[in-house]
Amino acid sequence: MNRTDRLYAIVEELRAVAPRPRSASWLAHRFEVSRRTVERDVSALQQAGVPVWAEPGRTGGYCLDRARSLPPVNFSPDEAVAVAVALGSLAGTPFAGGGATALRKILAAMRDDDAAAAHDLAARVHLLGAPSDGPAVPAVLADAISARRVLRLRYTDRDGATSTRDVEPLGFVGSSTGWYLLAWCRLRDGIRAFRLDRVDRVTATAERAPRRVVRPEDVQVPDGDLRTLTLLG
């Protein structure tokens, strides 16, 4: 663990137990450094304005004023898009405006590169009506777009025919009938939508998927208004 990460970790540890103290010996053991290193780290935090103080006594140690220190907001691109999808259910409710404001605050708190990645990921999510609930989605499928790995699917189509295909993930489509993986199917040599609850097995290969541009007309959906997710409220 480098020093910057350790400084953040010390603050989070002290916040978790506040107002109780953590001794320098405990912190040194926890982060596998010397007491002297912990003392220097705490001094650096104090000089940076973090409300940490030393409580004397046999049971004393370092304390953090929790009321004066808020935890950092570190949303990943996946988390920001997940929030945007969830907030979509607020449309037409009295809370729609508040949801849009909350999303803008999340984006403002993110690093520039993470925010850019979140916008790029959101542009690959398309919604048709209100998406329905379904079974749990395997993590490898949920991460498919961000990871950009070629996937090997065993898929059962609507007629009950099962096939194994290598696909390049392009995006997701959510509708009232379920969620679909939008991908370039190497078996069919074209864009196909794979209903997630019909994916019997999925593995991520070591191959990096090439970047492909998907035009709205490339997405074949039933009658309805297809909208692309946006992170702009």
**176-202 pLDDT tens trace:** 777 888 999 999 999 998 998 899 999
pLDDT at 222: 54
Phi, then psi, of 215 in degrees rounded to 5: -90, 150
CB 69 within 8 A of CB 42: no
Low-confidence ranges of the chain (pLDDT < 70): 66-73, 91-95, 129-136, 216-226, 232-233
How far is residue 64's CA from residue 30's CA, in Å, rounded to a whole number? 17
Two tokens, residue 129 = 């009506």
Phi, then psi, of 222 in degrees rounded to 5: -65, 175
Give every CB contact of residue 15 below 8 A, 6+ residues apart in sequence: 64, 66, 69, 71
Within the chain, residue ranges assigned H as helices are 3-17, 24-31, 35-47, 77-87, 96-109, 112-122, 139-142, 144-147
pLDDT at 42: 92
